[in-house]
Amino acid sequence: MGNSRILTTMDETSSPPKIGLKDFTALIKIGIVNSNLITTFTGLWLAFLFTGNHFLQSIDIVIYTLLGSSLIIAGSCALNNYIDRDIDPIMKRTKNRPTVTGKISGSKVLTLGFTFVGLGLIMLFMTNITTGIVGIIGVFSYVVLYSLWSKRLYVSNTVIGSISGAVPPLIGWAAVDPSLPPMAWMLFLLMFVWQPPHFYALAMRRVDEYRAASIPMLPVVKGFAITKRHILIWVALLLPIPFFMSSLGIPFIILATLLNIGWLVMGINGYRNKDEKKWATRMFVYSINYLTILFTAMVILSVF
Query: What's the mean pLDDT when you consider all of the chain?
Result: 92
- Show me where the domains of the chain are located: 20-179, 181-304
**Which range, of 7-11, 174-178, 286-290, averages the lowest pLDDT?**
7-11
pLDDT per residue as tens digits for the range 205-257: 999 999 999 999 999 999 999 999 999 999 999 999 999 999 999 999 999 99
Q: How far apart are the first and last CA of the chain?
A: 73
Q: What is the pLDDT at residue 56?
A: 82
* 18 C-beta neighbours (distance < 10 Å), count: 7
Dihedral sign of CA atoms 184, 179, 43, 34 in order: negative
Greatest CA separation for the chain: 76
pTM for the model = 0.91
Q: Quickly state the pLDDT bin for 17 (edges 50, 70, 90).
A: low
CATH of 181-304, one of 1.25.40, 1.20.120, 1.10.30, 3.30.450: 1.20.120
Determine the residue type at 282.
R
pLDDT, residue 226, reads: 95
Neighbours of 291 (CB within 10 A): 19
Counted residue by residue, the chain has a size of 304
Structure confidence by residue, pLDDT tens digits, 70-111: 999 999 999 999 999 999 999 888 888 999 988 899 999 999
Burial level of 101, CB count in 10 A (0-12/13-18/19+)?
middle
The rounded percent of the chain whose pLDDT value lies above 90 is 82
* pLDDT at residue 54, rounded to an integer: 85
Contact (CB, 8 A) for 38 and 66: no
Q: In terms of CATH, what superfamily is 20-179?
A: UbiA prenyltransferase (1.10.357.140)
Is residue 184 within 8 Å of 177, Cβ to Cβ? yes
Whether 13 shows a pLDDT value over 50: the answer reads: no
Mean pLDDT of 148-177: 97
Tens digit of pLDDT for each residue in 244-300? 999 999 999 999 999 999 999 999 987 777 789 999 999 999 999 999 999 999 999
Q: Which of 254, 257, 286, 247 is nearest to 269 (CA)?
A: 286
Characterize 157-185 residue by residue with b for buried, 16 or more Cβ atoms within 10 angstroms of its Cβ, and e for exposed: bbbbbbbbbbbbbbbbbbbbbbebeebbb
User: Nearest CA to 186 among 137, 263, 253, 141?
Assistant: 253
Do residues 192 and 138 make contact, with C-beta atoms less than 8 angstroms apart? no
The predicted-structure confidence for 40-66, as pLDDT tens digits, reads as follows 999 999 999 999 988 888 999 999 999
The pLDDT value recorded for residue 18 is 67
